[in-house]
C-alpha cells in the first residue's frame, strides 16, 4: 500500500532528526531499502525516498564533519559514503530512470544543503555529471538542467573554480532550442551569473522570435533581435520541422519571456520594440494577415494559421509587454491586431478571453501620463471600434464568449466608468442594454457575470435604460431583479455574484442601499440564511460584517508585533443599533452560521461574532451570562442546534441576552479548532496506524495512491 510505504518514509524522516539515529539507519539496512524505494511505482513514495536520502546524507555530514569540510570524500562517514557511492554508481548507469534518481537526489542536496561539504561533493560528482552530456541522446535532460541550476544557486561553491559556468554555457549551446529554453530561463534567474552567460541564455530565448522577425520582415528592416548572431539554424530547423515542434517552441519561448519580464532579473536593456514586433507578427501569422517575405515565412504562415495554442501564448505575452514603453505606431499596431482578433469569427472562445485580457492591460498602460488614469486619445478611438465588436460578442451563441465579454466589460467600467469620454462612448452603444438582458441568460456563468456587470454599471450610474437620474424606478428595478436572482436562481454562481455586488454596493454607499439599509440587509440575510450554497452564506457574512463595520468602526488590530498606536476609540454602539441587529436578525444568522457544516462559513461567523463581542464589551450590563432567563433559552436552542435540530428560530431576543451569549461562548477556542485544516485527522499517527492495520487485512495490494 503506497500510503504505508509513504508513512514508513515519513517515520524515518522524523527519526532522522536525531543524530543518534544514524547508526540505526546504517546498521539496520534501512538505507538499502530507501535506495530500492527510489524506484517505487508511486511517484510520491519515490520522491519521498529521494528526499529522505538527502536528509540522511545531510545528517551524516553534519555529525561527521563539524567545522571545516573534509576535503577528501573518502574520509566521510560511512553512511554518507554509501549514499554518495550509490549516487555515483547510478550516474554511470545506462538506465535513464536510475540516472534521473541520482540527479534528483543531487538536485535536492544542493538546493537544501549549503554547507562546505557540498563543494567537495560537487568536486567528486561533477565529472560523471559532465560525462552525461557526452552521451547521445543526453539522458534525463530535464533533471540534468535542474541539477545544474540547483548547483548554480548554491552559495557555497566557487563557480569559476569548479567550471560550472563553462558547463552551463556548453549545455546551452549543445541542447536543442526546445530543451535549452528552461535552462536559459533558469540561468537568467540566477543572481550571480557572468554577463556573458546571461547574454548567451537570453539569446536562446530570443532566437525563435528573431527567426520569426527575419522570416517576415521586408529586408532590410529595422534592427531586430540578435542581429548577426550565428547558431540560428537549429532554431529554424525546430520551427520548420513539424507543426507540433514549431508550436511547442513558440509557446514555450513566449511563456518564458513573459515570466522573465515580470522578474527583477529581467535583462536590461529589454528589447521591447523587437519583442513587441515579433509578438504582433506571430499573431498575424496565426490570423493569416502577414505577407511574408521569405519561403520560411510562407511555411510559418501555413503552420501557424489558426493555431489556438500559439495565439493564446502570444496574447499572454502581448499583455505583459504592455508594461514597457513602446512607440506610438507600434501601440497602434497592437490595437489593430487585438481588434482583429476580437472581431474575427475564427477566434476561439479561449483566444477571445486572452485577447480581452491583453486589451485591458494595453488600455491601462498605453501612453499613460504620470498623474492621469484617463484613457489616451488612441485608446478612446480604439474603444469606439471596440464597442460594436463587444455588442456582437455579447450576442454570441457560445456562452464562454458572452461570459468573457461581460467580464471584460466589468473591468472596463471599473477602471474608466467615471471618465466622461468613456461614458459617452459606452452610452452611444447598445452594450449596457445587452449586458442587462444577459441577466436572463440560460447559462449560469453568464448570468453571474451579467450580475457583476449590471452591478458595476449601476454603481457608476451607467445603467441601461435608466441612465437618467430622474428615472429611479428602473434603477430600483435592478435591485429587485438582483434580489429575485438571489432568492430564485437555481445555480449558485449568479447568487454568489449578487451578494458580491450587494456587498460592494453597501460598502460604497450605493443610493438604493442607503435609501433603506436596514430593509436591504434584512432582506438579503433572510434570503441567504436559507441558501444551500456555502459560498453564498459566506458572502452573506461578509455583507453583515461590512454593515457592522460601517456602524461600529473597523476591528481593532490584535497583531502582537504592531506598536500600539493611539487608536481613535471606536464609538460605542448605540443601544438602538443593537436592537436593530436583533431585529434583522443578524445575531440569529451569525449564530446559525457558527454551527455551519462548512468550515469556512463557521470560521467567518466566528470572526464576525468575535468582532461583535469586542465592539460590545463596553455595552455589557451588570448581569453575567446565564443570568437572564432569555439567554438561557437561547443557549438551549443553540445546544439543540448543535445536536442537529436546526431550523428552530431563536425567537425575539433582547440585545442583553445576545450579548450575554456572546460572552459565554468560547469563541477563541472555536476559532482555534476551526483553524486546523480538514486533513489534520488523516495526517495523525492514529490514521496511519489504521492504514497499516488495514494493509495487514488486505491480501491483494491496493494500488490506489491516496497520498
Residues lying near other proteins in the complex (CB under 8 A) are found at: 288, 290-292, 297-299, 301-303, 305-306, 344-347, 391-393, 395-399, 401, 430, 433-434, 437, 440-443
Q: In the complex, what is the shortest distance from the CB of residue 303 to other proteins, in angstroms, rounded to a whole number?
A: 8
Nearer to other proteins, 131 or 398 (CB): 398
Which of the 8 DSSP states describes residue 439? G
Q: In the complex, what is the shortest distance from the CB of residue 508 to other proteins, in angstroms, rounded to a whole number?
A: 30
Nearer to other proteins, 4 or 301 (CB): 301
The pairs formed by 490-496 with CB atoms below 8 angstroms and a separation of 24 or more are 490/444, 491/444, 491/447, 491/448, 492/444, 492/533, 492/535, 492/536, 493/444, 493/445, 493/447, 493/448, 494/444, 494/447, 494/448, 494/451, 495/531, 495/533, 495/536, 496/448, 496/533, 496/535, 496/536, 496/539
Nearer to other proteins, 3 or 341 (CB): 341
Nearer to other proteins, 434 or 462 (CB): 434
Q: In the complex, what is the shortest distance from the CB of residue 236 to other proteins, in angstroms, rounded to a whole number?
A: 16
By CB atoms closer than 10 A (0-12, 13-18, 19+), residue 522 is middle
Q: In the complex, what is the shortest distance from the CB of residue 226 to other proteins, in angstroms, rounded to a whole number?
A: 24
Nearer to other proteins, 444 or 526 (CB): 444
Nearer to other proteins, 292 or 494 (CB): 292
Q: In the complex, what is the shortest distance from the CB of residue 333 to other proteins, in angstroms, rounded to a whole number?
A: 19
Give exposure, 263-291, as e/b (b: 16+ Cβ within 10 Å): eeeebeebbbbbbbbbbbbbbbbbbeebe
Nearer to other proteins, 264 or 397 (CB): 397
Q: What is the largest CA-CA distance in the chain?
A: 92
- From the CB of residue 166, how many other CB atoms can be counted at a distance below 10 Å? 13
Rounded Cα gap, residues 265 and 259, in angstroms: 10
Q: Please compute, for residue 387, the number of CA atoms within 13 A of its CA located in the half-sphere on the CB side.
A: 21
Q: In the complex, what is the shortest distance from the CB of residue 438 to other proteins, in angstroms, rounded to a whole number?
A: 9
Phi-psi label, residue 608: left if phi above 0, alpha if psi -120 to 50, beta otherwise: alpha
Those residues whose C-beta lies under 8 Å from the C-beta of residue 703, and which sit 6 or more positions away, are 2, 41
Q: In the complex, what is the shortest distance from the CB of residue 30 to other proteins, in angstroms, rounded to a whole number?
A: 57
Nearer to other proteins, 398 or 514 (CB): 398
Q: In the complex, what is the shortest distance from the CB of residue 467 to other proteins, in angstroms, rounded to a whole number?
A: 17
Nearer to other proteins, 280 or 584 (CB): 280
Place of cell 513602446: 326
Those residues whose C-beta lies under 8 Å from the C-beta of residue 343, and which sit 6 or more positions away, are 389
Q: In the complex, what is the shortest distance from the CB of residue 355 to other proteins, in angstroms, rounded to a whole number?
A: 14
In contact, 183 and 200? CB cutoff 8 Å = no
Roughly how many angstroms between the first and final C-alpha of the chain, as a whole number?
A: 11
Nearer to other proteins, 57 or 310 (CB): 310
Q: In the complex, what is the shortest distance from the CB of residue 398 to other proteins, in angstroms, rounded to a whole number?
A: 6
Q: In the complex, what is the shortest distance from the CB of residue 404 to other proteins, in angstroms, rounded to a whole number?
A: 14
Helices (H), 530-651: 534-552, 575-583, 586-594, 599-615, 629-642
Place of cell 536562446: 204
Nearer to other proteins, 63 or 298 (CB): 298
Q: In the complex, what is the shortest distance from the CB of residue 210 to other proteins, in angstroms, rounded to a whole number?
A: 20
In contact, 536 and 496? CB cutoff 8 Å = yes
Phi-psi label, residue 647: left if phi above 0, alpha if psi -120 to 50, beta otherwise: left
Q: Crossing angle of helices 399-416/420-427, nearest 10°?
A: 150
Helices (H), 65-155: 78-92, 96-112, 117-134, 141-153
Q: In the complex, what is the shortest distance from the CB of residue 416 to other proteins, in angstroms, rounded to a whole number?
A: 23
Rounded Cα gap, residues 420 and 408, in angstroms: 19
Nearer to other proteins, 234 or 236 (CB): 236
Nearer to other proteins, 346 or 598 (CB): 346
Rounded Cα gap, residues 283 and 265, in angstroms: 27
C-alpha cell at 281: 507578427
Amino acid at each position: 500500500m503506497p500510503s504505508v510505504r509513504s508513512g514508513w518514509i515519513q517515520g524515518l524522516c522524523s527519526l532522522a532528526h536525531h543524530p543518534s539515529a544514524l547508526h540505526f539507519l546504517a546498521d539496520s539496512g534501512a538505507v538499502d531499502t530507501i535506495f530500492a524505494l527510489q524506484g517505487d511505482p508511486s511517484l510520491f513514495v519515490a520522491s519521498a525516498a529521494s528526499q529522505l536520502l538527502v536528509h540522511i546524507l545531510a545528517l551524516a555530514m553534519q555529525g561527521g564533519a563539524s567545522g571545516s569540510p573534509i576535503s577528501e570524500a573518502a574520509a566521510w562517514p560511512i553512511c554518507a559514503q554509501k549514499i554518495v557511492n550509490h549516487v555515483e554508481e547510478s550516474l554511470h548507469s545506462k538506465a535513464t530512470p536510475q540516472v534521473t534518481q541520482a540527479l534528483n537526489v543531487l538536485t535536492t542536496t544542493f538546493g537544501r544543503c549549503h554547507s562546505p561539504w557540498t563543494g567537495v561533493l560537487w568536486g567528486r560528482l561533477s565529472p560523471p555529471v559532465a560525462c552525461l552530456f557526452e552521451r547521445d541522446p543526453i539522458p534525463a535532460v530535464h533533471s540534468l538542467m535542474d541539477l545544474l541550476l540547483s548547483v548554480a544557486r548554491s552559495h557555497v561553491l566557487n563557480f569559476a573554480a569548479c567550471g560550472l559556468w563553462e558547463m552551463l554555457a556548453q549545455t546551452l549551446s549543445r541542447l536543442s532550442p526546445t530543451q535549452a529554453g528552461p535552462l536559459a530561463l533558469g540561468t537568467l534567474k540566477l543572481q550571480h551569473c557572468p554577463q556573458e552567460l546571461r547574454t548567451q541564455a537570453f539569446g536562446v530565448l530570443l532566437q525563435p522570435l528573431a527567426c520569426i522577425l527575419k522570416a517576415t520582415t521586408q529586408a532590410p528592416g529595422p534592427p531586430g533581435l540578435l542581429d548577426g548572431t550565428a547558431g540560428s539554424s537549429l532554431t529554424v530547423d525546430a520551427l520548420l520541422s513539424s507543426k507540433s515542434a514549431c508550436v511547442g517552441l513558440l509557446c514555450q519561448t513566449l511563456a518564458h519571456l513573459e515570466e522573465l519580464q515580470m522578474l527583477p532579473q529581467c535583462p536590461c536593456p529589454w528589447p521591447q520594440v523587437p519583442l513587441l514586433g515579433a509578438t504582433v507578427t506571430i499573431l498575424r501569422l496565426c490570423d493569416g494577415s502577414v505577407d511574408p517575405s521569405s519561403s520560411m515565412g510562407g511555411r510559418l504562415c501555413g503552420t501557424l494559421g489558426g493555431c489556438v495554442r500559439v495565439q493564446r501564448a502570444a496574447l499572454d505575452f502581448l499583455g505583459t509587454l504592455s508594461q514597457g514603453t513602446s512607440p506610438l505606431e507600434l501601440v497602434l499596431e497592437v490595437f489593430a491586431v487585438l481588434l482583429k482578433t476580437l472581431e474575427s469569427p475564427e477566434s476561439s472562445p479561449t483566444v477571445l478571453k486572452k485577447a480581452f485580457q491583453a486589451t485591458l492591460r494595453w488600455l491601462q498602460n498605453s501612453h499613460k501620463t504620470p498623474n492621469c488614469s484617463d484613457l489616451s486619445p488612441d485608446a478612446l478611438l480604439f474603444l469606439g471600434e471596440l464597442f460594436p465588436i463587444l455588442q456582437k460578442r455579447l450576442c454570441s451563441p457560445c456562452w464562454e464568449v458572452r461570459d468573457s465579454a461581460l467580464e471584460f466589460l466589468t473591468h472596463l467600467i471599473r477602471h474608466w466608468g467615471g471618465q466622461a469620454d468613456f461614458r459617452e462612448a459606452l452610452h452611444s452603444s447598445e452594450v449596457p442594454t445587452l449586458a442587462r438582458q444577459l441577466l436572463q441568460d440560460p447559462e449560469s456563468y453568464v448570468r453571474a457575470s451579467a450580475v457583476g456587470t449590471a452591478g458595476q454599471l449601476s454603481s457608476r450610474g451607467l445603467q441601461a435604460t435608466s441612465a437618467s437620474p430622474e428615472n429611479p424606478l428602473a434603477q430600483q428595478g435592478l435591485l429587485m431583479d438582483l434580489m429575485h436572482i438571489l432568492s430564485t436562481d437555481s445555480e449558485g454562481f449568479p447568487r454568489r455574484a449578487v451578494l458580491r455586488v450587494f456587498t460592494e454596493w453597501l460598502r460604497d454607499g450605493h443610493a438604493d442601499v442607503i435609501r433603506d439599509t436596514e430593509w436591504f440587509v434584512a432582506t438579503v440575510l433572510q434570503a441567504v440564511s436559507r441558501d444551500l450554497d456555502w459560498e453564498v452564506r459566506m458572502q452573506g457574512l461578509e455583507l453583515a460584517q461590512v454593515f457592522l463595520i460601517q456602524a461600529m468602526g473597523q476591528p481593532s488590530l490584535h497583531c502582537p508585533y504592531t506598536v500600539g498606536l493611539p487608536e481613535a476609540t471606536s464609538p460605542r454602539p448605540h443601544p438602538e443599533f443593537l436592537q436593530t441587529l436583533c431585529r434583522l436578525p443578524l445575531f440569529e444568522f451569525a449564530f446559525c452560521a457558527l454551527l455551519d457544516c462548512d468550515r469556512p462559513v463557521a470560521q467567518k461567523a466566528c470572526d464576525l461574532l468575535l468582532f461583535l463581542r469586542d465592539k460590545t464589551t463596553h455595552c455589557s450590563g451588570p448581569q453575567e451570562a446565564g443570568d437572564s432567563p432569555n439567554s438561557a433559552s437561547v443557549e438551549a436552542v443553540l445546544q439543540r442546534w448543535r445536536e442537529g435540530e436546526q431550523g428552530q428560530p431563536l425567537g425575539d431576543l433582547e440585545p442583553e441576552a445576545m450579548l450575554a451569549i456572546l460572552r459565554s461562548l468560547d469563541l477563541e477556542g472555536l476559532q482555534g479548532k476551526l483553524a486546523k485544516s480538514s486533513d489534520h485527522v488523516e495526517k495523525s499517527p492514529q490514521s496511519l496506524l489504521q492504514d497499516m492495520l488495514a494493509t495487514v487485512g488486505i491480501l491483494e495490494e491496493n494500488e490506489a495512491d491516496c497520498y
